[in-house]
Amino acid sequence: MTTSSSSLVAAALLISVACFIAATSNYYVEAADPPLVQGMSWSFYTSTCPKLESIVKARLQEVFKKDIGQAAGLLRLHFHDCFVQGCDGSVLLTGSAGGPSEEQGAPPNLSLRQEAFRIIEDLRARVHKECGRVVSCSDILASGGPSYKVPLGRRDGLTLATRAATLANLPPPTSTTGQLLTALAPKNLDPTDVVALSGGHTIGISHCSSFTRRLYPAQDATMDQTFAGNLKAACPQAATVDGTVNMDIRSPNVFDNKFYVDLMNRQGLFTSDQDLYTDSRTRGIVTGFAVNQSLFYEKFAVAMVKMGQLSVLTGSQGEIRGNCSRRSTGVESVLESAVEEAVEILAGF
């Protein structure tokens, strides 16, 4: 049982969000275990890489101490990986010439933090040094989340997603709630999941270009006047540089429920966020999370586990990358298969 890069990515991402919540709120999420996809397990690396979680957690604590904003970058990387072609680490793959792939070069992915890619590769190197190539990049990516149990066992994908597939599966910030629910329902994400996952915007920053159409030429009527004025000051219409602002104005460096308080006060940055409070189908969920942070944490954990199992590759599917940004070579794949076969034989004794 080797560890794939997608597994590694998934592990890193979910653990990182866990580290972040623990670091900023000292909260551990106790939630009922959702059903797992065949091939996934809560204890997948218990025998092959027992130190996986401690390795990832220790490194991410160092990273977040230097720059807490990297938690948002890792979380967004995981979202963009899973929504397009499933949680297979394909977003980590570069093009054949070493530059951005068609998936990485699609507009929604151009603003993914480059440091997030480097963090995942650094984690892969540390984990593989300790355990050998047994943890996938997609599991590492999924291990960077709030402090809750993370199912692992993903394998890394063999193919890149196309630009068209990327655009079709990543709802833009201009989406209405109806469009979000329609787009994510086929991924088995219900309205509560959608509202909970949107809570990831409680940390991180956004470029002005992602929301200025709500300011110019006419201001969005659902936006608080003072909030809009502050955004216009930070993002003037004649600006030549695409500036940035915090997505959560109340506690941008803390993973909490203040994002939902923002929405109730008409201070959501994106149409896709603010409309969650405007739309009657999701307004009650937003209100529930705004007044009950524990409920938000619980539902966020459930939604992350569901999202983290979208179209995963398990068992003998896919591969385990020796470098998260590129496919394994033919020789590496042969060696990997030989190691897997040896492990399976030994497991029988």
How far from the centroid of its chain's Cα atoms is residue 116's Cα?
Answer: 11
Would you say 328 is a known binding-site residue?
A: no
Q: Is the dihedral of CA 274, 279, 282, 285 positive or negative?
A: positive
Would you say 226 is a known binding-site residue?
A: no
Tell whether omega for the bond before 107 is within 30 degrees of 0, i.e. cis: no
CA end-to-end distance (rounded Å), the chain: 15
Would you say 78 is a known binding-site residue?
A: no
Would you say 279 is a known binding-site residue?
A: no
Would you say 90 is a known binding-site residue?
A: yes
Quick check: 80 and 112 in contact, CB under 8 A? yes
Catalytic residues: 80
How far from the centroid of its chain's Cα atoms is residue 179's Cα?
Answer: 20
Q: Quick one: the chain helix, strand, coil %, rounded to 5?
A: 55, 5, 40
Would you say 171 is a known binding-site residue?
A: yes
Would you say 337 is a known binding-site residue?
A: no
Would you say 312 is a known binding-site residue?
A: no
Give the pair of three-digit tokens for residue 44: 């997948």
Distances in whole angstroms, Cα of residue 77 to Cα of each of 14, 207, 228, 303: 11, 16, 28, 16
Would you say 86 is a known binding-site residue?
A: yes
Would you say 139 is a known binding-site residue?
A: no
Distance CA 299, CA 309 (A): 16
Give the annotated binding-site residues for substrate.
171
Give the annotated binding-site residues for Ca(2+).
81, 84, 86, 88, 90, 103, 202, 248, 256
Give the annotated binding-site residues for heme b.
201
Give the annotated binding-site residues.
81, 84, 86, 88, 90, 103, 171, 201-202, 248, 256
